[in-house]
Amino acid sequence: MEKFFIVISALALLFPIYASAQTVEEAKEFLAEAESRLEIASHEYAHAAWIAATYITYDSQRVEATAYQRFLELSVEYANAAASFNDLDLDFTDRRKMELLKQFLVIPSPSDSEMAQELAEIGSEMSAMYGAGEYCRNEGITGEEICYTGDQIENLMRELRDPDELLEFWAGWRENSIPMKPLYERQVEIGNMGAQELGYDNLSTFWRAKYDMGPDAFAADADVQWAKVKPFYDALHCHVRAELSDYYGPEVVPPSGPIPAHVLGNQWAQDWSYLFDIVKPESSDLGYDLDQLVQKNTDGPEDIVRIAENFFISLGFDPLPETFWERSMFSEPEDHKAVCHASAWDLDDKDDLRIKMCIDPTAEEFRVVHHELGHNFYQRAYKEQPPLFRGSANDGFHEATGDTIALSVTPKYLVDIGWLEEEPPAEGDIGYLMSMALDKIAFLPWGLMIDKWRWQVFNGKVSPDEYNQAWWALREEYQGVASPIARSEDYFDPGAKYHIPGNTPYMRYFLAYIQQFQFHRALCAEAGYEGPLHRCSIYGSKAAGEKLNAMLEMGISRPWQDAMEAMTGQRELDASAIIDYFAPLKDWLDQQNQFRQCGW
């Protein structure tokens, strides 16, 4: 992920700096001041956040919280002040900066200070509820009470195969979100007021207006892209349901209709990767073991990172600065606690780039390192842009860029770097594509429906007494997934997913999962690759590197359609690249499903 995402639910509201803007000159002065002060505050926060993540103590957490509070308050101040320039005729660059200032906010507060404080308290309380959530049960001969956190439950549900236990943990976790419902309802009410003060109809319009196209046009395009992938998802769903029905029996997983949500290897049924052992093809041997290759050919975490850096150097990018190697965290510290979750950081918007990981010599970590460096090279590419333009072309581009690089970790790449003598035969490709589809394809309808639910809540199409019913209706419509037990409006099942109480928009992930394949297809074509798309690696292609950099260096200075065109030649999102990538698996699935009843 990026250094951090700006997720703001106005903890405080200062008096607007420019209460009644009049002239273009005032607007330019306002923007210059906003960029300067926000840049300083963001750097201060970045350094505090780095310390808090890599050296966990009471004091480091307090320092980070204080720095974030200052940055937050300043961001809220400028976002609200920018609304006073809504009716001024500004040039493209200044108007874009004004809109980006307003869009720092996720749940904007109204100008009423009491409501702003209430909004902040609601956000804090819901986050605390989620963070403190657990499920407790009596275990063992003594009946001792054992409590499980959300992360522990998520890990258990990946490995458990007892349907009764899966259901118990699934239902137990969702007890934690029940008290969130009235808080969420009030948050939506206040947030809509804040969005209206910024010039939007409601939060739904505000969220969908961040994509350089009309809010309704953006939503319609998301549906168009999903329609392209849905036939493939339907085929995958049909195969997985049939295999699960055979494994668990039809009384647990009926051979028709939606799949019960608790048996898909994931707390939210958003990633089916952990079902691979149940649904894999008979011939799924890749012909090599990447875990073994990583262990054999690398000498410690830094060596893995240098191999990944060399991937970018092979594309024509300059090596990372020496400070990257001096200041990054590659291993878990021995003498203090740190956050091991992988992340890429840009602490000064120039050259102080870093990654934070506790790197193990595994195939997964090898791919993740390539992904994280994708963020770093993106961050450095747009460093010459003005402060407000240093960012992802849209909120999906950063993640898509990292994933695009990870898609090039193929047998061809392993041959190019001397880890394999030759590419293995294609017999094992279906297994590889199945493992990828259980992650990438299975995620897409989930990635779309979360914000579809929120858009309908924000604009009033779904009322508070319909929250849960609407949630499960969308899950069944898009995912073909159903609750394994009855769920009334006494529950608030959306709150069982962090991004709902945490107010993190989710369309960025839907977009990233589409864009990465679109990027990969375009870069492979630029590299002159003519084989199956899933076997392509752009390693060593200066032509592909030039195309990639043409997009990266634009940052968010232009509409994302311009950035897309710079790299792919297309100005629109295009999910057809997913179909191209997974084409051999689709043929295999159609054969498997030939005599099955598909759909739900």
Residue 346, strand partner residues? 353
- Residue 110 CA to residue 362 CA, distance in Å, equals 49
Annotated catalytic residue, options 64, 309, 365, 372: 372
Distance set, CA 339 to CA 98, 313, 333, 462 (Å): 35, 29, 10, 38
- Residue 573 CA to residue 221 CA, distance in Å, equals 8
Q: How many CA atoms lie within 13 A of 426 on its CB side?
A: 8
> pLDDT (tens digit, 9 = 90+) per residue, 443-487?
999 999 999 999 999 999 999 999 999 999 999 999 999 999 999
pLDDT at 15 over 50: no
Annotated catalytic residue, options 132, 189, 220, 341: 341
Locate the domains of the chain by residue range: 24-124+181-199, 134-175, 215-285+433-505
User: Can you give the pLDDT at residue 71?
Assistant: 87
**Contact between 504 and 488 (Cβ < 8 Å):** no
Annotated catalytic residue, options 21, 81, 342, 566: 342
**Contact between 169 and 129 (Cβ < 8 Å):** no
Q: Is 341 assigned a catalytic role? A: yes
Annotated catalytic residue, options 399, 400, 413, 529: 399
Annotated catalytic residue, options 413, 509, 539, 581: 509
Annotated catalytic residue, options 262, 370, 375, 534: 375
- Residue 210 CA to residue 99 CA, distance in Å, equals 8
* Alpha helices, DSSP H, located in 346-483: 363-381, 397-407, 411-416, 429-458, 467-474
* Alpha helices, DSSP H, located in 249-346: 276-279, 290-297, 301-314, 322-327
Annotated catalytic residue, options 185, 363, 477, 499: 499
User: Can you give the pLDDT at residue 427?
Assistant: 81
**Contact between 8 and 104 (Cβ < 8 Å):** yes
**Contact between 115 and 201 (Cβ < 8 Å):** no
Q: Which residues contact 387 (CB under 8 A, 6 or more apart)?
A: 35, 36, 38, 39, 349
pLDDT band for 595, please (50, 70, 90 cuts).
Answer: very high
Q: What pTM, to 2 d.p., does this model score?
A: 0.91
Q: Is 342 assigned a catalytic role? A: yes
User: Can you give the pLDDT at residue 20?
Assistant: 53
- Residue 515 CA to residue 374 CA, distance in Å, equals 14
Annotated catalytic residue, options 371, 398, 520, 534: 371
**Contact between 27 and 94 (Cβ < 8 Å):** yes
- Residue 444 burial (10 A CB sphere; 0-12, 13-18, 19+): buried
> pLDDT (tens digit, 9 = 90+) per residue, 91-120?
999 999 999 998 888 898 888 888 888 988
Return the residue matching tokens 């780095």. Answer: 50
- Residue 590 burial (10 A CB sphere; 0-12, 13-18, 19+): middle
Q: Is 499 assigned a catalytic role? A: yes
